[in-house]
Amino acid sequence: MLNTSNPNNYEYTTKHLEVHILGGIKTTKLETLRITLSVQKPKQHNVLRHSIDLYNDNQVEKLVRKIAERLEIGTSIARRTVQDLTKELENYRFVLLEQSQVTATGKQLTATEIKKAEAFLKSKDLLSKTNELIGKSGVIGETTNRILMYLIFTSRKTNNPLHCISLGSSGVGKTHLQSKVAELIPEEDKVEITVLSANAFYYFNRTELQHKLILIEDLDGAESVLYPLRELQSKKRITKTVVHKDTKGTTKTIHLTVEGPVSVAGCTTQESIYEDNSNRSFLLYIDESTEQDQRIMNYQRRASAGKIDKQGQTDAVQLLQNVQRCLKTVTIINPYAEYLELPQSVFKPRRTNSHYLQFIEAITFYKQYQREKKYDEQTGEEYIETTIEDIEEANQLIIEVLLRKSDTITGACRNHLENLKQYLKENNQTTFTNSEIRRRLRIKETTLRRYNKQLLEENYIQRVKSKTKSYCFEIVDVDEYSNLKEQINSALQNCITQIELAISPQSHHGQNGEVKTKKAS
């Protein structure tokens, strides 16, 4: 019988011979069965070692004669042993193939698991309940970022996936947040990258990356693959032309194509370096406040004291993974898309507008079990429609993203400026010096100099005369950021108002489906 308990040394024992298959067998190239074996009589030390393709009849006949001569045994016994071994290895290889296919397609949910996941997807206030469950899974704080990231990861199943980059200074938990939220995505749906060579992406199977989540721990360690990643994000496919020699030695040109779409997530401390990638992504700025520090340290203390509900965390992770497995690919139509306009303050409005619409679609996709399935009269294609509630929830979550997209300074510099405003307000000051800020806010001199240079260039701060020799500064407009936030909020709310007016009882639909509003008498 074939014993495969040791994957690197299979054992096949008969009454007359003992065979060891060294290194196991490969599940690729089913047209061959190449192995390295050692053959001996039981309890003897005369061993024959040989590499062979068991599907090559000439090689098998030579092996049979060699076994008979070396071990002094009949050729009929040797031939029957090799034939039976070949059949056992074939059957085991089919078992391995079936197991690998199950792993690739993912876990098969039981009826109970499906019922529980679907009931959750049909529940009221789905996004807030999902956010609460993410917190139970072990993600501390970051209430907006974590639900944003989860929805972005969920969009991998749509035809227009979203992408995100987590930004923050070193040691604030960018990678931790990404990895914890990624735990809520089934293993079969994600690819984690630490370091990858420039050409590695082109050697995936054609559809191996379709609708996958690609996780990059640190963009600094994956610079070589950023270009093919950008192409996958934009064009949803990458192609490389290489020269290849066939078995006859003939040189020919072949095309290596890898199909998308994919959802990409990464972390970095250097926002300005990856501008081409950040333009295609949602920028999620990690909470670096002292309150968040306290929340994380309290959690660490409780974990060290053994007061964390590990089983509750595991159950939350399992439920959200099952929820992901229950989501099916479906077309999304947003009947209110024409009423949605971004604030004029947003930079690169074309790409940002596309992200905004895709994010609304991602929310609709996640709430597909609460939507009536409709069918296109001409094509018969199934689809679901976005509701005003989806748009309102998207506006609440995306306002911080749009605010950052409208800012003229980097996120790190903005965080410094807001901390500076808070410090001046608490101390009833309007001016400050570099030495004071370095000491009170504990900032390195080089970092502060870099922030000041950017703030001076963008006219957020200005120099003022001082009685001392040191430079003195003041903030030009303390309320500029809150005013910008109010402007964006008003623009988004205005879109909702326009939609509500359009679908109010005073409006009616024309024959061509266009919404027309009756004039008030």
Tell me what the mean pLDDT of segment 374-383 comes to.
87
DSSP 355-413: HHHHHHHHHHHHTGGGS--EE-TTT--EEEE--HHHHHHHHHHHHHHHHHHT-SS-HHH
Residue 266 lies in a domain: yes
Please report which helix (H) or strand (E) contains residue 20, including its range: strand 18-22
pLDDT value for 174: 86
Number of domains forming the structure of the chain: 3
Judgement on whether residues 11 and 66 belong to the same structural domain of the protein: yes
pLDDT value for 213: 92
Residue 93 lies in a domain: yes
pLDDT value for 512: 41
The radius of gyration of the chain's CA atoms, rounded to the nearest angstrom, is 31
Judgement on whether residues 96 and 170 belong to the same structural domain of the protein: no
Judgement on whether residues 135 and 248 belong to the same structural domain of the protein: yes
Question: For the segment 111-148, what is each residue's pLDDT rounded down to a tens digit?
Answer: 999 999 999 999 999 999 999 999 999 999 889 999 99
pLDDT classification of 274: cutoffs 50, 70, 90: low
pLDDT classification of 263: cutoffs 50, 70, 90: very high
With pLDDT > 70 as the criterion, what percentage of the chain qualifies?
93
Please report which helix (H) or strand (E) contains residue 268, including its range: strand 262-268
pLDDT value for 514: 44
Please report which helix (H) or strand (E) contains residue 258, including its range: strand 251-259
Bridge-based pairing state of the strands 164-167 and 282-285: parallel
Residues 6+ apart with CB under 8 A from 362: 151, 152, 154, 155, 158, 162
DSSP 441-460: HT--HHHHHHHHHHHHHTTS
pLDDT value for 400: 87
In 3D space, the residue among 126, 173, 119 whose CA is nearest the CA of residue 150 turns out to be 126
Q: 227: buried, middle or exposed (CB in 10 Å: 19+, 13-18, 0-12)?
A: middle
- Asked if residue 371 has pLDDT above 50, the reply is yes
- Asked if residue 510 has pLDDT above 50, the reply is no
pLDDT value for 227: 81
Tell me what the mean pLDDT of segment 105-115 comes to.
83
CATH number where 434 lies: 1.10.10.10
Judgement on whether residues 263 and 172 belong to the same structural domain of the protein: yes
- Asked if residue 258 has pLDDT above 90, the reply is no
Q: 45: buried, middle or exposed (CB in 10 Å: 19+, 13-18, 0-12)?
A: exposed
Query: How many Å from the N-terminal Cα to the C-terminal Cα in the chain?
Result: 92
C-beta of residue 46 within 8 angstroms of C-beta of residue 37: no
Residue 274 lies in a domain: yes
Q: Is 25 helix (H, G, I), strand (E, B) or coil?
A: coil
Q: 262: buried, middle or exposed (CB in 10 Å: 19+, 13-18, 0-12)?
A: buried
Judgement on whether residues 125 and 93 belong to the same structural domain of the protein: no
Domain termination site, one of 329, 353, 369: 329
Judgement on whether residues 210 and 321 belong to the same structural domain of the protein: yes
- Asked if residue 387 has pLDDT above 90, the reply is yes
Residues 6+ apart with CB under 8 A from 513: none
In 3D space, the residue among 455, 416, 454, 458 whose CA is nearest the CA of residue 168 turns out to be 416
Cα–Cα distance for residue pair 286/143, rounded to 1 Å? 11
- Asked if residue 511 has pLDDT above 60, the reply is no
Judgement on whether residues 189 and 325 belong to the same structural domain of the protein: yes
Please report which helix (H) or strand (E) contains residue 435, including its range: helix 434-441
Residue 18 lies in a domain: yes
Domain range enclosing 305: 112-329
Mean pLDDT over each residue of the chain, to the nearest integer? 86
Least confident of 66-70, 141-145, 200-204, 434-438: 200-204
Please report which helix (H) or strand (E) contains residue 259, including its range: strand 251-259
User: Six-digit token pair at 148?
Assistant: 């944003």
Q: How long a stretch of residues is the chain?
A: 521
Handedness of CA 42, 43, 46, 50 (dihedral sign): positive
CATH number where 143 lies: 3.40.50.300
pLDDT classification of 254: cutoffs 50, 70, 90: confident
DSSP 300-362: HHHHHTT-S-HHHHHHHHHHHHHHHHH----EEE-TTGGG----TT-SSHHHHHHHHHHHHHH
Judgement on whether residues 101 and 129 belong to the same structural domain of the protein: no
Cα–Cα distance for residue pair 231/149, rounded to 1 Å? 22
Question: For the segment 211-236, what is each residue's pLDDT rounded down to a tens digit?
Answer: 999 998 888 777 777 788 888 888 88
Domain termination site, one of 293, 314, 329: 329
Bridge-based pairing state of the strands 212-216 and 190-193: parallel
Whole-angstrom CA distances from 502 to 507, 515, 518 are: 6, 6, 10
Other Cβ atoms within 10 Å of 508 Cβ, number: 9
- Asked if residue 105 has pLDDT above 50, the reply is yes
Residues 6+ apart with CB under 8 A from 51: 34, 35, 36, 37
Residue 518 lies in a domain: no
- Asked if residue 519 has pLDDT above 50, the reply is no
Judgement on whether residues 150 and 258 belong to the same structural domain of the protein: yes
pLDDT value for 275: 66
pLDDT value for 521: 28
Q: Which residues pair with 262 in a beta bridge?
A: 212
Judgement on whether residues 300 and 425 belong to the same structural domain of the protein: no
For residue 456, the one-letter residue type is L
Judgement on whether residues 98 and 162 belong to the same structural domain of the protein: no
Helix pair angle (75-105, 57-71), 10° resolution: 130
Residue 385 lies in a domain: no
pLDDT classification of 516: cutoffs 50, 70, 90: very low
Tell me what the mean pLDDT of segment 181-186 comes to.
93
pLDDT classification of 106: cutoffs 50, 70, 90: low
User: Six-digit token pair at 232?
Assistant: 């996958």
Please report which helix (H) or strand (E) contains residue 468, including its range: none
Domain termination site, one of 329, 364, 385: 329
- Asked if residue 42 has pLDDT above 50, the reply is yes
DSSP 87-154: HHHHHHHHHHHHHHHHHHH-PPPPHHHHHHHHHHHTSSSHHHHHHHHHHHTT--S-HHHHHHHHHHHH
Q: Which of 120-134, 189-203, 332-346 has the highest mean pLDDT?
A: 120-134
Nearest 5°: CA angle at 152, between 147 and 157? 125
pLDDT classification of 350: cutoffs 50, 70, 90: confident
Question: For the segment 396-412, what is each residue's pLDDT rounded down to a tens digit?
Answer: 999 888 888 888 888 88
